[in-house]
Amino acid sequence: MIENKHKVSIEEFDNKKYQIRLVEPEDKAVITHYLHNVHNGVSKHYKNDALKVLENFVEYKQNENLSIVAEEALQQLLFEVENVPFPTPENYTFKFIDLFAGIGGFRLALQNIGGKCVYTSEWDKAAKKTYRENFGEIPFGDITKESTKNYIPNDFDILCAGFPCQAFSIAGNRKGFADTRGTLFFDVEKIVEKHRPKVVFLENVKNLVSHDNGKTFDVITEILKDKLGYKVFSSVLNSMTHANIPQNRERIFIIAFDPEQVPNFQKFKFPEKIKLTKTIHDILDKGKQEDRYYYPKDHKYYPELKKTMTSKDTVYQWRRVYVRENKSNVCPTLTANMGTGGHNVPLIKDDYGIRKLTPRECFSFQGYPKNYILPSNLANGRLYMQAGNSVTTTLIERIANEIMKVL
């Protein structure tokens, strides 16, 4: 009878025939969150719904005349979530949640210093794929929905959120809190109010500070201080000066402590500057890359590129109609629109011609390790966008280390 046994996979929860949905489309999120926490107390938070999903799934498989029992399905699915490049640390020392998780920059950094992620949320489908490939977990969806917020466990130490910055970014249309994307901060506020984590760890574009003559930033810090009673620290840090990453990327970081739970909060300091020892050549892939990354000689902009791009030791930026050299010999700020229409795409000159950075190189300029998986079924445009939207993981890790000194 053994040959009749059927292999199961989390992917099958997307099967059109499997119609018994728990909370559309959160079945995969519930089951992977349960499996990720099956060895600790957090699992009880997801258990009832996860077992419902599993029972429904086994029933559906049996209706398809496939021999499978719940325990067996659970074991197979467990192997699938644990056998990933970046599993949860076995001996974790603190718990955190990852909101607006993107591709997991915060998670990577906090896992590196002994943190366990107990909840994650991200609405972008392509980002969810990348997250799942690397961490074995599928994020919950739209955090503005109460049903999604209700899955957040009660007990965690740090809330991480690189909340969407389009509303505040120079690249966006600068409407700030008038833009509904800007109001996603208010969802963070509600979660902080309900769960009272020890620490709130936020990241955003530098422009948030000056947006609307500083009013937007004032609203955020006032809510954290006056309404929620947290002690707030903020600083603009650059990946180039604070993370030994050769990318000129300035971001605002806001760290807020609950003084009742963290009485020595005033000992917190942002990390000091460190010397930039890495060059772009530590990041760029050696040798010839695929032809699709190179500009052909008959391209209408090729003469302009060839004339301007004379050095192999810096990264240039294509700005719609002209090329800008980065004088500091680092990579200019990676943006979410790098892959769209060629605007803002970082360019380099190598021994084989003039080319765009590859998606892998963009991930490396954000501090992601070489074994971080970029899903092969995602278009390059999506991968460029994911890299541009991400945090620099090594900088997040340095800040998180300072937070842990206080905790």
> pLDDT per residue over 302-331, tens digit each?
999 999 999 999 999 887 677 888 888 999
Per the structure block, which two tokens stand in for 358?
């590859």
The pLDDT-based confidence of 142 (bands split at 50, 70, 90) is very high
Tell whether the model's pLDDT for residue 5 goes beyond 80: no
Geometric angle at alpha carbon 163, from 216 and 180, rounded to 5°: 60
* Global pTM value: 0.92
Distances, alpha carbon 219 to alpha carbons 171, 184, 211, 252, 264, in Å:
21, 13, 11, 15, 25
> pLDDT per residue over 169-178, tens digit each?
555 555 555 5
Residue 134 CA from chain centroid, whole number: 11
Q: Catalytic residue positions?
A: 165
* pLDDT value of position 25: 67
What phi and psi values does residue 132 have, to the nearest 5 degrees?
-65, -40
Let me know if the fold of 94-274+391-406 is the same as that of 280-388: no
Beta strands in 114-181 (DSSP E): 115-120, 158-161
Mind giving me the DSSP string for 264-287? TGGG--PPPP------GGGTSPPS
**164 or 378, which is more confident?**
378
3-state secondary structure of 51: helix
Question: How far is it, in rounded angstroms, from Cα 235 to Cα 179?
Answer: 24
* pLDDT value of position 259: 98
Exposure b/e, 65-97, CB count within 10 A at least 16 = b: eeebeeeebbebbbebbeebebebeeebebbbb
Distances, alpha carbon 183 to alpha carbons 97, 166, 234, 391, in Å:
20, 11, 20, 20
Residue 4 CA from chain centroid, whole number: 40
Beta strands in 154-193 (DSSP E): 158-161
> Thinking of the domain 280-388, which architecture would CATH place it in?
Alpha-Beta Complex (3.90)
3-state secondary structure of 189: helix
Tell whether the model's pLDDT for residue 24 goes beyond 60: no
**226 or 70, which is more confident?**
226
Tell whether the model's pLDDT for residue 179 goes beyond 90: no
**11 or 147, which is more confident?**
147
Question: How far is it, in rounded angstroms, from Cα 271 to Cα 97?
Answer: 22
Q: Of 3-7, 248-252, 370-374, 376-380, where does mean pLDDT reach its minimum? A: 3-7
- According to the CATH classification, is domain 94-274+391-406 in 3.40.190.10? no
Tell whether the model's pLDDT for residue 14 goes beyond 90: no
Mean pLDDT of the chain: 89
Per the structure block, which two tokens stand in for 274?
């460190």
Give the residue-averaged pLDDT of 235-260.
98
The pLDDT-based confidence of 143 (bands split at 50, 70, 90) is very high
**117 or 184, which is more confident?**
117
Q: Where are the domains of the chain?
A: 2-82, 94-274+391-406, 280-388
Provide the β-strand partners of residue 253: 203, 235
Question: How far is it, in rounded angstroms, from Cα 94 to Cα 62?
Answer: 41
3-state secondary structure of 402: helix
Q: Which residues contact 297 (CB under 8 A, 6 or more apart)?
A: none
